[in-house]
Amino acid sequence: MPNDESRMTNANEATESPSESSAFGIWHSAFRSGFTLVEIVISLTIIIIIAAGAVPMFKGLREEQLAREPIIELVHLAKEARMRAMREKRPYQVAFYQGGFVASRYFTPYFQLYELTTFLAEEETGSRRLNPNADDSDSDLDAGAGEAPKTALPMAPTAPKLNDNWQEHYKMPEDVQFALKFWHDTQETPITGEIVKLWVFQPTGICVPLKLHLDRHTATFDVEFGALTADIIREVIDLK
């Protein structure tokens, strides 16, 4: 005859529903068996496919960032030249030539390549003359902005401190070819050979609108700069 403990065990087993017993059995079986080889292979395949799609995307972003370096540098120099022109009340410029561009004070609208080359070479040695077109009194195109204020008024505003030696130079990578188009030009001008183009920033902060076409082996850029702030107002990128 079964004892009381055996009868209680049988009663408990009888109260369990078939569905609960079946669900517990499936979970317990899955827990014990773990992932099958097929499931692991499928998971690894999905990961590889996602990684294969992500690598070209990140590579393209990296190549675009490297290709945009000249544009980033030009934006920086344009902002700096515009800020100095407004603060010092005298014009500044960005001079484009085949090897790159340089920002400095505005000297003359007829800046030639040999003058620019001499300007950069003398700047490196620290022996350059401030203005190649100025006389000994430095009466140049800044209309006397560099002179000390001639007034005895005690409340006269202090003239901003001028840095006549400021210039920043960016050398283009060897694979870069670029062309410029100002608002008055009928077509783009490739910057090659002896050509020098000036982008002038007036003391009011206004500059001539500029379109830049830049071609590299990885990408082509067409960039438009506005007249009021020298900001990029339009940019088209074509990755190769």
- Span of 69-83, 93-107, 131-145 with lowest mean pLDDT: 131-145
Please report whether residue 6 resides in a domain.
Answer: no
- Span of 30-34, 93-97, 170-174, 214-218 with lowest mean pLDDT: 30-34
C-alpha angle 226-230-236 in degrees, rounded to nearest 5: 60
Same domain? For 89 and 179 the reply is: yes
Instruction: For 43-67, write each residue's pLDDT tens digit.
Output: 777 877 776 665 555 555 666 677 7
Same domain? For 185 and 121 the reply is: yes
Mean pLDDT computed over 174-186: 92
Percentage of residues in the chain with pLDDT exceeding 70? 62
Same domain? For 104 and 53 the reply is: no
Tokens of 133: 């077109």
- Give every CB contact of residue 110 below 8 A, 6+ residues apart in sequence: none
Region of residue 179 (phi > 0: left; psi between -120 and 50: alpha; otherwise: beta): beta
Asked if residue 71 lies in contact with residue 221, where contact means CB atoms within 8 angstroms, the answer is: yes
Here the CATH number for the domain that contains residue 173 is 3.55.40
- Of 38, 64, 90, which one is at a domain's C-terminal end? 64
Per-residue model confidence (pLDDT) at position 24: 47
Per-residue model confidence (pLDDT) at position 65: 73
Residue count of the chain: 240
- Which domain does 48 fall in, by range? 19-64
- Report the distance separating Cα 137 and Cα 139, nearest Å: 6
**Residue 186: φ, ψ to 5°:** -85, -20
Of residues 131 and 207, the one with the higher pLDDT is 207
Alpha helix stretches (DSSP H) within 68-182: 69-88, 113-125
Please report whether residue 26 resides in a domain.
Answer: yes
Same domain? For 180 and 108 the reply is: yes
Please give the single-letter amino acid code of residue 207. C
What's the structural domain count of the chain?
A: 2
- Report the distance separating Cα 227 and Cα 205, nearest Å: 9
- Tally Cβ neighbours within 10 Å of residue 27: 10
Asked if residue 93 lies in contact with residue 106, where contact means CB atoms within 8 angstroms, the answer is: yes
- Report the distance separating Cα 39 and Cα 45, nearest Å: 10
Per-residue model confidence (pLDDT) at position 62: 64
Please report whether residue 203 resides in a domain.
Answer: yes
Side-chain-facing half-sphere of 237: CA atoms under 13 Å: 12
Q: What's 162's DSSP letter? A: P
Same domain? For 104 and 219 the reply is: yes
